[in-house]
Amino acid sequence: MKHESNPRKQRVFGTTRLVAIGFFLVILTGAFLLTLPISSATGQWTNFIDALFTSTTSVCVTGLVTVTTATHWSLFGHIIILLLIQLGGLGVICCGMAILMLIGRRMGLKERMLIKESYGLAENIDIRRILKGTFIIEGIGAILLSIRFVPVYGVLKGTWYSVFHSVSAFCNAGLDIIGKNSLSDYKTDPLVSLTVCGLIALGGLGFIVWWDIFRVLKNAVKEKRYKHMLFSRLTLHSKVAIAMTLALIIIGAVTFYIVESHNPATIGNESIGGKILMSIFQSITPRTAGYFTMAQEGMRDTSYITTVLLMLIGGSPMGTAGGFKTTTIAMIIACAVSVIKGKRETEMFKRRVAVENIRAGIAVITISSIVLIGSVIALTIVESFSIRAIVFEGVSAIATVGLGYGMTPYLSVMGKLILICLMYIGRIGPITIAMAFGAKKNKVLDSTKLAEKKIIVG
């Protein structure tokens, strides 16, 4: 059977390999810097495994930690972590291009194609829009947080705390420099909680959705047609991402409020307003930020399962969150509904979904699930923690969430390495890993020449 060379396939394989290697090199560089005595609060060397874990959790914007971020690292270490979070949130390729722009190099067609393919887009994008939107939102978040942090910690320290946590929240990293209890001290503070929730949601929604919303609003103002249904003017991707995001936030918040309202280990002792605020926060943070205001170990079984499902779903494509992605899950659900209704095509918002998208979605879920199950089994072999804790932190790692069950700081070296691999795969994406290192770069098989046969399903 004849194999044909495909230039576009070769270019895509080159891009995916560059993305995978780029993230890997940034992680190694960060790990080296964090091992240095200047990076630790005590002025001593940090063992390489803990430095590697911290660098990985920062670049992969996860949030799981083996050492307490607030107390173990010095100011220099915190700055390195913040830079790694920003790199990981924006993407190595995007940040690399930004550096080239800063030194005066113009972006040509090749560079634009590289960014487009690294994000899996159908058309070129302007990197300046990504950077501008990111820094504006992070800046607004820092200003809002400074209203609370500056009076408590002083101008310099309060401003630094505001910037760090704004960037960490927007990039869905969940790393904090307050202490072991994350944002629990602000669990009933609407300003801090809602600001962090807003940053997490905006980061997880995705850059492309912002632009689409801005485009629709701009056209509405220009045409002076404010009463027209703005939602209907959005692209299918934006409609699905927004609808799925809102649905998950509402369903999660209602579930947590009902289940945990009388649980003293979580929100049972709070006022009604506090319970609502903490329920909303717990609904948003698993997708995929890692901050917490209630003890994850104290949750009841229903809340535990809900949190795990929210972590697996994650945020939306072209954003800073991980997981299977909201659009992937929505598309698979729509596909199942179409099969039940006897339709040949998958429909969403009166539009037909491309078969290629469905195949890619199934591949993402299947490969990620296989990797997760294999890793959980491996963790049960090398660790002695409960299966509940292992599953929770395994899902948290591959979905780049960062919510912990109290297990990570006590892992063995092998356990830490397993979670490091899960975080890396979760951030890069299982398909990217497979394409970068497991598939042939220059040959493609024409499957249309093969005979078609059916197999029994269900």
Residue pLDDT, tens place only, 395-423: 999 998 888 888 999 999 999 999 999 99
Strand, helix or coil for residue 366? helix
Token look-up 């659009």 returns 327
pLDDT of 277 above 90: yes
Are residues 445 and 3 in contact, defined by beta-carbon separation less than 8 angstroms? yes
CA–CA dist 57, 46 (Å, integer): 16
Q: How far is CA 197 from the centre of its chain?
A: 14
Res. 387 pLDDT band, cuts 50 70 90: very high
What confidence score (pLDDT) does residue 217 get?
83
Rounded CA-CA distance 388/18 in Å is 36
- Between CA 274 and CA 260 the distance in angstroms is 12
Q: Which two tokens stand for residue 202?
A: 């905006």
For the segment 331-357, what is each residue's pLDDT rounded down to a tens digit? 999 999 988 888 888 888 888 888 888
Question: Is 171 in contact with 86 (CB distance < 8 Å)?
Answer: yes
Residue with tokens 């030194």: 103
Q: Which residue has the higher pLDDT, 293 or 230?
A: 293
**Measuring CA to CA, which residue among 252, 261, 326 is closest to residue 283?**
252
Q: Indicate yes or no: pTM above 0.85.
A: yes
Residue 97 pLDDT greater than 70, yes or no = no
What letter represents residue 49's amino acid? I
Q: How many Å apart are CA 49 and CA 55, to the nearest integer?
A: 10
Give the residue among 137, 56, 80, 69 at the shortest CA–CA distance from 400: 56
Q: Is the pLDDT of residue 148 over 60?
A: yes
Average pLDDT of the segment spanning 357-371:
88
- Phi, then psi, of 4 in degrees rounded to 5: -120, 145
Residue 9 has pLDDT above 80, yes or no: no
Question: What are the tokens at 388?
Answer: 């509940």
Above pLDDT 90, what percent of the chain? Answer: 47
300 token code pair: 């009841």
pLDDT (0 to 100) of residue 442: 47
Our measurement of the distance from residue 444's CA atom to the centroid of its chain's CA atoms, rounded to an integer in Å, reads 31
Measure the CA–CA gap between 332 and 335, rounded to whole angstroms.
5
Mean pLDDT on 265-278: 93
Task: For residue 285, name the pLDDT band (cuts at 50, 70, 90).
Answer: very high
Residue 150: predicted pLDDT: 95
Q: Which two tokens stand for residue 209?
A: 């959705």
* End-to-end C-alpha distance for the chain, whole angstroms: 33
* Residue 147 confidence (pLDDT) above 90: yes
Cβ-Cβ contacts under 8 Å for 418 (sequence gap 6 or more) = 375, 378, 379, 382
pLDDT winner (highest mean) among 123-137, 273-287, 314-328, 418-432: 273-287
